[in-house]
Structure 1
């Protein structure tokens, strides 16, 4: 009989999301038999435990699996280490919202079809490197993806509360630029294969996340009202902006025919990359994960999202121009290496494109960033983000009570106002 270990159920109910009920010995044994082309393969031990705690991932359930198995005719057991990513299958509210975004469908397509092709393109360049985890299986019946467990190769999540220093930031931008370049080249070679992906966090099909962004902006207005450094001037501006927030943000995601468009990651921040470190804690490698909101859009989506969620403040506020230049060089070099024949923006053209899409910094800074800096995880789940009930309001108050977040907001609102980002224009 197979020995199977699972997490303590009481602990899972409070600190972790429980693993899927269908993820068991029978399922995994059948899968491995198929993948290894060995009908006699048998699992001898199975360990299943949560991969992320509440507050670390609001959009999916991650489960870590260690399988010990014996192949036909073999005496020595082998081990496999996998991550199983699934949706919140037991929550109808969350399920309904995410289905509107085609989140699981998008990510399954990415891992099964798109990412392997992007990897092949990058492998053919002069400076190949691994960008993504290897996919083992995409299960459309259970809306699940099984891919290699990067922890085995010593990849770990970075500290989301610390933010990236310059070395981490350059590595992230290099990987992102190569993904963007490969995607543009792939869509040129197979026209339309990527442009059909159009369900990013802001899109023209659904506003399911609207309550989250709008309620967070309302809470930002309440914070501004009470803040001596800000006051009702900023509170009133934010309240007036609430009704236009979704439209202004969606415009950033709309691909423009006269600009450089590509497949963006869509949710590019500290927790959606995994890092491998050296003995001196220096970053040696980085792998991009989590592609539920990938869409054909402007690179402004990824760059502004990343800059306003993931960087240490001294870098975020004083080095963005240099970072954009760094990203642009890698992008252009990779596009040329891939023999891309489409529009390649000059640095100045890219800067202007990013400036045009800058409103997304308001949405990201006042909403996403606060959640990402939150260190109080008691109510840290998606229902608390989206619902306008007392629990949701309490959670948003907790987010805006974070002193670090407050300081950032106090600096950002005047800066946004000086360049017109808080004005209702149409």
Structure 2
């Protein structure tokens, strides 16, 4: 399937093994002839394969197309990544079929990200925030087509831990994305109008069993581990209304947004598999990172992405020893970029950032209990993400993985020291 002898069909999502009928020579010819402005373009060879490995994504279906074609300029080849919504009946389609994620992402690639890059270029910053989208459509089906980052030397990190240099670069890119969005909100607010759909605007996702059982399994863990048992009473006291508290916080933010400098266009799903990394082929020296999957982008406090990243991006040792340093790095790049691009509004302060970060303790508890064990489960290559979401016993087991237990024993005392368990 992938051209790699070490892979098999079990390494890929089942709905990405065979391309749908509409994904054919005629469609690819239309896309490429429009993109290259070559009406005479003729596709002479076309091969589809899954675009990525199982566990890399879930909110869409993705194929890689290897295309051979001719134009007046001669013969050429191109590798494309094709992203579409689930068509096969099943859990993925039920959970995501009516969500606005494609509208959001098309708007990001078509309007918002180009404007952000224009602002950076005007200030002399050549960082690339996104891969080029050469085609998009909502009807008759939702589909986006991108240049293939693998062909440019980018890879998803799966077989090792991401290192500090790579993570710093990730936070730099996020800071520049956030900074550009602050300037746009201040000067061109209509561009970002409508970017309001986050996790708590997706009722079908919130009804998923994994959302409801995370805290139950977390309490079982606290009871089982003697050194964690002292925290059980607190979490039992918030178990019944934690999700409602988060929903209420989100509703309050939407209905009564604060006119302050800490609201940004958040990525919304800032985890390791939503980015690809590039290293020099000859030396292995790290060069760049590309952020992916802008389906969940929404206007919200910058702490949304930062808190999410603690649990969904950082490696365990980085969570233990480096998270404050890394967020300070993010903030320094944010302020530096705001100054560079000529932002005229009130500047955020580091003290203000930390205040807001620690006020969001319910988000920490939710991610720690419900999302982090899933990330630990995905470190196991055999884990099927769809099965993980749907199988209660697999999810329960993920809450008792040795690495996750160690993570919790480090994080809870830290949050206790910061006052997270006071009833205020």
TM class by smaller structure: 0.7 to 0.9
Listed as ranges, the gaps of 5+ residues in structure 2 are none
Q: Determine if contact 2:86/2:97 at 8 Å carries over to the other structure.
A: no
CA offsets, 1:113-157, max 9 Å, x none? 211221222222233211111111112122111111100111001
Distance in structure 1 (CA, Å) of the matches to 2:192 and 2:285: 35
How many residue pairs match? The answer is 411
Distance in structure 1 (CA, Å) of the matches to 2:185 and 2:319: 32
Distance in structure 2 (CA, Å) of the matches to 1:153 and 1:14: 23
Using the TM superposition, give the Cα deviation of residue 46 of structure 1 relative to its aligned residue in structure 2, in angstroms. 0.9
SS class of match (1:407): helix
Distance in structure 1 (CA, Å) of the matches to 2:386 and 2:235: 23
Q: Determine if contact 1:259/1:353 at 8 Å carries over to the other structure.
A: no
Matches within 5 A, 1:207-222: 208-210=205-207, 211-222=209-220
Using the TM superposition, give the Cα deviation of residue 310 of structure 1 relative to its aligned residue in structure 2, in angstroms. 2.0
Distance in structure 2 (CA, Å) of the matches to 1:185 and 1:273: 24
Q: Aligned in 2, Cα 1:239/1:137: closer, same or farther, shift over 3 Å?
A: farther
CA offsets, 1:241-281, max 9 Å, x none? 23322244342693532352110111112111111012443
Q: Aligned in 2, Cα 1:257/1:248: closer, same or farther, shift over 3 Å?
A: farther
Other-structure match for 2:44: 44
Using the TM superposition, give the Cα deviation of residue 424 of structure 1 relative to its aligned residue in structure 2, in angstroms. 6.6
Using the TM superposition, give the Cα deviation of residue 175 of structure 1 relative to its aligned residue in structure 2, in angstroms. 0.5
Distance in structure 2 (CA, Å) of the matches to 1:245 and 1:382: 25
Other-structure match for 2:165: 167
SS class of match (1:359): helix
Q: Determine if contact 1:276/1:285 at 8 Å carries over to the other structure.
A: yes
2:294 corresponds, among 291, 295, 319, to 291
Q: Aligned in 2, Cα 1:420/1:380: closer, same or farther, shift over 3 Å?
A: farther
Distance in structure 1 (CA, Å) of the matches to 2:232 and 2:48: 48
1:344 aligns with 2:347: yes
Using the TM superposition, give the Cα deviation of residue 331 of structure 1 relative to its aligned residue in structure 2, in angstroms. 0.9
Q: Determine if contact 2:12/2:52 at 8 Å carries over to the other structure.
A: no
Matches within 5 A, 1:88-107: 88-91=86-89, 93-99=91-97, 101-107=99-105
Matches within 5 A, 1:357-372: 357-372=360-375
Other-structure match for 1:413: 412
Listed as ranges, the gaps of 5+ residues in structure 1 are none
2:278 corresponds, among 256, 276, 279, to 276
Distance in structure 2 (CA, Å) of the matches to 1:192 and 1:55: 36
Distance in structure 2 (CA, Å) of the matches to 1:16 and 1:93: 13
1:129 aligns with 2:133: no
Pick which of 52-61 and 41-50 moved more.
Answer: 52-61
Other-structure match for 1:191: 189
Other-structure match for 1:308: 311
Pick which of 250-259 and 101-110 moved more.
Answer: 250-259
Distance in structure 2 (CA, Å) of the matches to 1:339 and 1:185: 8
Using the TM superposition, give the Cα deviation of residue 383 of structure 1 relative to its aligned residue in structure 2, in angstroms. 6.0
Distance in structure 1 (CA, Å) of the matches to 2:2 and 2:374: 32
SS class of match (1:82): strand
Q: Aligned in 2, Cα 1:356/1:188: closer, same or farther, shift over 3 Å?
A: same
TM-score (norm 2): 0.88
Other-structure match for 1:334: 337
Q: Determine if contact 1:221/1:234 at 8 Å carries over to the other structure.
A: no
Other-structure match for 2:320: 317
Q: Determine if contact 1:181/1:262 at 8 Å carries over to the other structure.
A: yes
Distance in structure 1 (CA, Å) of the matches to 2:231 and 2:110: 46
Pick which of 371-380 and 52-61 moved more.
Answer: 371-380
Pick which of 220-229 and 312-321 moved more.
Answer: 312-321
Distance in structure 1 (CA, Å) of the matches to 2:370 and 2:283: 34
Other-structure match for 1:398: 397
SS class of match (2:135): strand
